[in-house]
Structure 1
Amino acid sequence: MHGSAAREAEAPPASTADDLPLRILVVEDDEGDAVLVQEHLQDAGLVHETVWARSVDEALENLDVDCVLLDLGLPDAMGLSALQRVLDAGAPPVVVLTGLTGTDAGLEAVAAGAQDFLVKGDVHPDVLARSVRYAVQRRRLEDTGRALYRSLVRAAETTRLERALLPTPRVTDERLEVRVGYRAGRDGLLGGDFYDVVERPDGTVLVMVGDVCGHGPDEAALGATLRTAWRTLVIAGTPADEILGLLERVLQAERSRPEVFTTATMLAIHPDRRSADLYLAGHPVPLLVGDPSSLLPADARGRALGIPVGGGWPARRLDLGPAWRVLLYTDGLLEATVAADGTRLGKPGLLELADRTLPAAPDDGAAVAPDEDPVLGRLLSAVRERHGGDLVDDAAVVLVGWPA
C-alpha cells in the first residue's frame, strides 16, 4: 500500500470520548479545496462524517454538527462577517480554514470566537485533525463548565430558599422539646411546605406548619414569603387569633393566581405549658403522641387560607396535661402510597408509625439522613420505607413536647 491508503492503515483511529464519528461541516465555495479538506481528515485517521456547504446561508441550515471548518472568503460573506454570522446562529466550535494570510487575521478570528485559525496552504493533515479534535474538546469542557456553574448557582439559590422555608426555631425555653424535619419530594426540589417555631417574650410558643397548593418554584417562593410573614407577625406581638387572617392577606397579595390557596396548622402553647390553642386552616389534624397516639380534636376546623368562602379560624383550647408531645405535619406523609392499588398511608398508618418510631431513643442507630433530627428522621424514613422509595410530595414535620 502507498500514499493516503498506507497512512490511513498505519494511523490509529482518532475517536471522540463516546467513540462516535465527528460530524464536520466544511463551509467552502471551492469544490477542489473542499475535497482536499476531506482528504486531509481521512489521511489523518480521524473518524468523521463531513457535510459540505458552499455559503454561509447554506451553512446556517446545517449546524447540527460537532465542528465547523469555515473559509472566510464566501459568496455571501467575506472576512470576519462570515465567522460572526455563523457564531451568532449558535454554531458549534468553529475552526477557520482560509486562504487569507493577513498578519492579524488569525488573532482577530480567535478574538471573535473561533477556536483556531489555519491557512490552507500551510496545513498538514495531522495538524488539521488535531485542531478539530481540540476544538471539539474545548467546547465540551466549556459546556461542562457552564453547566457546573449553573448547577452551583441553582444550589446557592436552593440554599437561600431552604433558609427561608426551613428556619431554625427561635425558642429559649430549654425544657421544651422542639424538633423539625423536612424531606423534599422525588424530584429533589423544594415545594410549598413550610414550618416555623417562635417563642414570645411572655413565654408563649407559637408553632406553624403550612402547605401551599401545588409544587414548584412559584409555590416554594410563596411558602417562603408566608413563613417569613408569619414569623414577622409573631415577633411583632400580633394576637394569635389575628395571625391567620393577616397571613391570608399576604397570600392574596403575593400569589401568582387567584386559585392558589394554603392550608395551615398553628399551635399557641401557653406559658404554663399545660394548655394550648389549636388553629386549623384546612390542614391535617396534628397528632398527640402517646401510647397509643391519637388525633387532636378537629371540631373547630377553619377553612384554608385564600378560599373565597365565609368563616374564620376559631381557637380550640387544648388541655395538654403535665407531660405531652404534639406532632404537626404536612400531607406529604399521609399521601404516601403503601400498596400497589394506590392505597395511601393516611392518618391510621401515620399513627401506627408514630407509635413505633417516636418513643424510641434518639440514638437507637436507625438510619436517617445526614444533619436530620434523629427522631423525626426515623419517622420520615419509616414512611419512605412503607412507600417504597422517595415520597412524591414534600413532607414537613414539627414535634413539640413537654417532659414529665
Structure 2
Amino acid sequence: MSSGTLRILLIEDDRLDAELIEEMLDRRLGQSFDIENVLRLSEGLARLETEEFHLILADLGLPDSSGLETLQRLHKKTEIPILVLSDDNETVLPTLAVRQGADDYLAKEDLTPDTLVRAIRFALERHAHRRTEQALARAQEQFRIVRRIQERLLPNIDVSIPGYDIAGTIYPAEHASGDYCDLFSMPNGCVGFVVADVSGHGLGASHLMLEARSAVRALVHQGVALNEILTCLNELLFDDCLATDHFLTLFIGRLDPTCHQLEYASGGHMAYLIRSSDKLERLRSTGPALGLIRERPVGSRVLPDLKTGTIFVLPTDGIVETVSIDKTLFGIERLRGFIVRNRHLSARGIVDGLYQAARDFAGHLKQHDDITCIVVKIL
C-alpha cells in the first residue's frame, strides 16, 4: 500500500468493536490510517456525500439498516471498496455479500492487525485493477465510436468517369485514424479530392481530422479557391493544433476531365505522377504543413494536358515510412516500382496492392502508422 494516509469510513455501531479496529490499525507501522467512525448507515451515506474515502469497513447489522440492504445502499452511493464485518454467528450473509459486490468479509472474532491490513491492501489492489480495466474499456469504446463515425464519413473511394479511374482507402493503424481522404463533386463537372495526415495517433488526431474534413467540405461548398481553403483551414485549426501538439499535412486537388487538367494546393503533403515513361515526378508542396505557422500564404499549381497512361498517386507517409524487420524503409522507389509493375491493374487494384506490399515488406511487425492512398489513372 501507499505510504500516504488512507481514509477509511468505519460504519460500526458497536463502540468496543470500532475502538478495537482503530487500535489494530494504529499499531501498524509504515502506513497511516485516518479512520472516521459512524454508528448508522445514514450517517455514513451523508459523509460519502461530502468527503472522500479510500475504503469502507461496514457492519451489516446497523440500527437503521441490516443485511444486504446495507451493502446495496452503499453500492448505490459509491464505487470504493467495501469490506464487510461479520459476527461469529453469521454464516450465509457474509458469503452472499461477497457475491453481491463486497470485496471481502472479516469475522470479528478472528480479526488481527495482519489479517485486517492484508484484507485492506488486497481490496485496494483489486479496486485499482478494476478501475484500470474500466478506463481501458471506456477508451476502447470511445475508439470504436469514433471509428464507426469515420467509417460512415470516410468510405472507400471508387469512381469511374470517362477517361479516369479513381480509388482511395484508409487503412488505420488503430481503432481511430488520423488520416483523411475524401472525394466530392465541384462546379463545371470537376472532381475534387483530398488526402490529409494528422501527426500522432489516437482520439486527439481523429478529432482534428474530423474537424478538417468538415471545414474542407464547407469551404468547397462555398466555392473557395484551393489555396484559400488551405489558408482558411490553417487559421481555423491553428489554436487546436497548438493546444494538442498536432499538425497536419493536406493535399487538395481539382481534376477537370474535359481538359485533362489538375489544379492542386498542398500543405506539406507528398504526391506523385508516374508518366507512361515510368518516370516518377514528385509534385512540390505549395505551402507549409497546417498548424505550424499561424499566418503563411499558400499557393496553388496547375498541371495541364495530363496524358493517357499517367498515374497520379496521393499517399500518406504510412506507406513510404513502413519499416522492415531489418529497419529498412519501404521508400519512394519501392512505391514507384510497385506501380510500374502493376500499372495494368485498376486504381482499386493498385491501392489495395500497394497496401499489401507495404504490409508484406514489414513482415510480422505491427502497422505503426495509418496508411491512406488515392490513385487516379488517366485512361
Q: Same fold (TM over 0.5)?
A: yes
CA RMSD of aligned residues (A): 4.6
Instruction: State the match for 1:89 in structure 2.
Output: 53
Instruction: State the match for 1:69 in structure 2.
Output: none
Is 2:38 the partner of 1:77?
yes
2:270 aligns to what SS in structure 1? coil
Instruction: State the match for 1:395 in structure 2.
Output: 371
Looking at structure 1, the residues matched to 38 and 340 of structure 2 have their Cα atoms a distance apart, in angstroms, of 77
Instruction: State the match for 2:312 in structure 1.
Output: 326
Q: CA contact under 8 A between 2:259 and 2:305: conserved in structure 1?
A: no
Instruction: State the match for 2:118 in structure 1.
Output: none
Shift of 1:204: 0.9
Which residue of 219, 242, 245 corresponds with 1:233?
219
Is 2:288 the partner of 1:303?
yes
Instruction: State the match for 1:128 in structure 2.
Output: 94
Structure ranking higher in helix proportion: 2
2:377 aligns to what SS in structure 1? strand
Amino acid at match of 1:179: A
Looking at structure 2, the residues matched to 262 and 103 of structure 1 have their Cα atoms a distance apart, in angstroms, of 60
Looking at structure 2, the residues matched to 315 and 101 of structure 1 have their Cα atoms a distance apart, in angstroms, of 82
In structure 2, runs of 5+ residues without a counterpart are: 1-8, 77-81, 105-125
Looking at structure 2, the residues matched to 120 and 262 of structure 1 have their Cα atoms a distance apart, in angstroms, of 65
Instruction: State the match for 2:171 in structure 1.
Output: 183
Looking at structure 1, the residues matched to 136 and 67 of structure 2 have their Cα atoms a distance apart, in angstroms, of 32
Looking at structure 1, the residues matched to 65 and 214 of structure 2 have their Cα atoms a distance apart, in angstroms, of 62
Looking at structure 2, the residues matched to 29 and 62 of structure 1 have their Cα atoms a distance apart, in angstroms, of 28
Looking at structure 1, the residues matched to 185 and 314 of structure 2 have their Cα atoms a distance apart, in angstroms, of 17
Amino acid at match of 1:123: E
Instruction: State the match for 2:149 in structure 1.
Output: 160
2:271 aligns to what SS in structure 1? coil
1:252 aligns to what SS in structure 2? helix
1:202 aligns to what SS in structure 2? helix
* TM-score, normalised relative to structure 1: 0.65
What's the % identity of the aligned pairs?
22
Instruction: State the match for 1:379 in structure 2.
Output: 354
Give the count of matched residue pairs: 333
Deviations 1:182-219 (A, max 9, x none): 1222xx14343212111214111122112233334333
Looking at structure 1, the residues matched to 65 and 300 of structure 2 have their Cα atoms a distance apart, in angstroms, of 83
Is 2:337 the partner of 1:337?
no
Instruction: State the match for 2:22 in structure 1.
Output: 54
In structure 1, runs of 5+ residues without a counterpart are: 1-24, 35-51, 64-73, 363-372
Shift of 1:220: 2.3
Shift of 1:136: 5.5
Looking at structure 2, the residues matched to 116 and 223 of structure 1 have their Cα atoms a distance apart, in angstroms, of 47
Q: CA contact under 8 A between 1:210 and 1:330: conserved in structure 2?
A: yes
The 5 A counterparts of 1:199-218 are 199-218=185-204
2:337 aligns to what SS in structure 1? helix
* TM-score, normalised relative to structure 2: 0.68
2:329 aligns to what SS in structure 1? coil
